[in-house]
């Protein structure tokens, strides 16, 4: 038989000995269970796989959250930048309108009176001819073509300022190019 450990006292009577044997069996049973759990590679692998899966799911959740936050920040930055660009564009458009108006005014001031009168007459003739062409158009053009033309005319009326600015800018460029020759 084995000798009892030094820290335990030997049993004085059979009941006490029975109790010590029972405690030793329980400790031995727990030790055997622990060793069996360590020896069960399949169960340990499954535990590790479950643990890794849980960690991956947690990390994926974190990344989704971080991505959503970053996307929100980018959306906000984009909206701010778009607003700034709109303001800059509006300011530049106003600046160009002002310059075009000044140039047109200077050009008109430099035109001799007979030329201005001729231009006014030509404009009136153009209005009359345009009205006449419009009447002919109404009489002769097919309905689908007239509908499309009406849409285009409405767009032009809606964006009249932009069209006039573009025309003024084109006139200025033409005058500048013509003046250089």
For residue 181, give the 3-state DSSP assignment: coil
Tell me what the pLDDT averaged over the chain comes to: 83
**Which of 7-16, 40-49, 167-176 shows the lowest mean pLDDT across its residues?**
7-16
pTM of the model: 0.35
| CB-CB neighbours of 165 under 10 Å | 19
Lowest mean pLDDT among 2-11, 35-44, 46-55: 2-11
Residue 179's nearest CA partner among 120, 110, 113 is 110
Q: Give 48-98 as a 3 state SS string.
A: HHHHHHHHHHHHHHHHHHHHHHHHHHHHHHHHHHHHHHHHHHHHHHHHHHH
Token reading at 96: 């160009």
Indicate the pLDDT class of residue 123, thresholds 50, 70 and 90.
confident
- Distance of alpha carbon 132 from alpha carbon 101, whole angstroms: 31
CA atoms within 13 A on the CB side of 24: 10
């Amino acid at each position: 038989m084995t000798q009892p450990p030094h820290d335990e006292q030997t049993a004085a009577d059979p009941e006490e000995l029975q109790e010590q044997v029972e405690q030793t069996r329980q400790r031995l049973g727990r030790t055997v269970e622990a060793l069996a759990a360590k020896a069960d590679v399949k169960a340990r692998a499954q535990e590790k796989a479950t643990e890794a899966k849980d960690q991956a799911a947690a990390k994926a959740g974190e990344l989704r959250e971080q991505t959503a936050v970053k996307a929100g920040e980018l959306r906000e930055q984009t909206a701010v930048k778009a607003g700034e660009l709109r303001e800059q564009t509006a300011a530049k458009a106003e600046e160009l309108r002002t310059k075009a108006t000044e140039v047109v005014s200077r050009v008109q001031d430099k035109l001799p009176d007979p030329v201005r009168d001729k231009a006014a007459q030509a404009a009136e003739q153009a209005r009359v001819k345009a009205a006449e062409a419009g009447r002919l158009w109404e009489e002769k053009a097919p309905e689908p073509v007239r509908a499309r033309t009406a849409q285009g005319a409405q767009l032009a009326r809606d964006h009249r300022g932009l069209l006039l600015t573009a025309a003024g800018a084109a006139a200025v460029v033409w005058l500048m190019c013509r003046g250089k020759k």
